[in-house]
DNA sequence: AAAGATTGACAGCTCAATCTTG
DNA sequence: CAAGATTGAGCTGTCAATCTTT
């Protein structure tokens, strides 16, 4: 949970125009609130969102994956994955193995403990997703999805 | 822009129930997308969201503010503000002055350069907010605000 | 003792530079 | 030279420990 503040941008009502305006700060805040709930749920399992993401990708792949590939799939920089895998290796959730076909590459492989933690993490994720769905349930899902698609 | 990945949770359609479901990952992603746009707009001005937040608070206060007060208003930890003000001071946007009424306290005071940068930053924020409003404009603002309020 | 600020150590991210291998 | 991985430095955040002042 590494978030900048911004609580002050509550924007009570500078004056409302015809169409009721939506503050981007409120939107950002809401996203972080959801994120925080997820982080809080994963914490007790010994995971964070980034760590769970890596385990999740490895489970989905069903085989060891190069760090470059992980970076690509996580839409982040390579050096980020290097350090993330460092921590996952220290946790004992992942192992680094060498690629026999290309000696430049390094593969990340799940350990049994890593698999076990992914299961536990996935259960938490499911729980939080259901809570989230309950909260959003009263709104039109199709509409909300269209809104989100507009912003990304 | 310090964001964990999560691109893989695009959730194409595991199977749709009666009510179209909304992925919390999609929601988090959308919030980050907006955040990234804001960061990108502030960057060229020499600001980040946290830095702009501090300048903004100081402008709003109209007078020097203690670091503790800044932390409270930004809903973050005191040590965070200590380092943030370190960087703002290095930038020349803020000065640390001592509190005559309580020698434990340290006040953050805007420099002329800081004021000038806040003006520039505020213009960018306004621009991005307008772009955001345009994107969301086609949706019911009242509804969206209710959705956001539900999640926070 | 409690409050204000700082420091050190860490997680998570970025970028630029480097090193090895292809 | 490209590509894969790592390293070093910086930003933003957290927590725990410390130091000064109340």
Please report where in the chains the tokens 């929601």 appear, as a residue: B27
Residue B60 vs residues A8, A42, B5, B66: alpha-carbon distances, Å: 10, 38, 35, 14
Structure tokens at B63: 């007078």
pLDDT exceeds cutoff 90 at A2: no
Name the E strands within chain B: 65-66, 94-98, 106-110
pLDDT exceeds cutoff 60 at B7: yes
pLDDT exceeds cutoff 90 at B10: no
Most A-contacting residue of B144, B145, B146 (CB-CB within 10 A), to test interface: B144
What is the pLDDT confidence band of residue A6, given thresholds at 50, 70 and 90?
low
CB contact under 8 A, B152 and A21: no
Predicted TM-score of the model (pTM): 0.91
pLDDT, tens only, B46-93 = 999 999 999 999 999 999 999 999 999 999 999 999 999 999 999 999
What is the pLDDT confidence band of residue A18, given thresholds at 50, 70 and 90?
low
Let me know: does B89 contact B69? Beta carbons within 8 Å.
no
Residues 6 or more apart in contact with residue A87 via CB below 8 angstroms: A51
Average pLDDT over residues B92-108: 98
Q: Which of B9, B6, B24 lies closest to A137 in space, CA to CA?
A: B24
Q: How far is the CA of A101 from the C1' of D2 (A)?
A: 17
Let me know: does B88 contact B94? Beta carbons within 8 Å.
yes
pLDDT, tens only, A124-135 = 999 999 999 999
Picking from A17-31, A41-55, A78-92, B106-120, which range would have the lowest pLDDT averaged per residue?
Answer: A17-31
Q: Which of A54, A50, A27, A29 lies closest to A39 in space, CA to CA?
A: A50
Confidence (pLDDT) at A19: 77
Which residues in chain B are closer than 8 Å to A26, comparing Cβ atoms? 145, 148, 152
């Amino acid at each position: 949970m590494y978030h900048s503040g911004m609580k002050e941008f509550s924007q009570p009502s500078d004056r409302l125009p015809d169409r009721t305006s939506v503050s981007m700060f409120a939107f950002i805040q809401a996203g972080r609130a959801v994120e925080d709930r997820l982080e809080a749920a994963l914490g007790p399992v010994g995971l964070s969102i980034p760590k769970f993401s890596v385990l999740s990708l490895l489970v989905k792949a069903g085989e060891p994956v190069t760090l470059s590939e992980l970076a690509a799939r996580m839409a982040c920089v390579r050096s980020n994955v290097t350090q993330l895998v460092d921590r996952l290796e220290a946790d004992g959730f992942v192992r680094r193995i060498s690629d026999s076909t290309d000696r430049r590459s390094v593969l990340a492989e799940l350990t049994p403990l890593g698999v076990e933690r992914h299961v536990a993490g996935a259960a938490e994720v499911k729980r939080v997703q259901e809570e989230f769905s309950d909260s959003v349930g009263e709104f039109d899902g199709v509409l909300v999805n269209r809104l989100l698609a507009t912003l990304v």
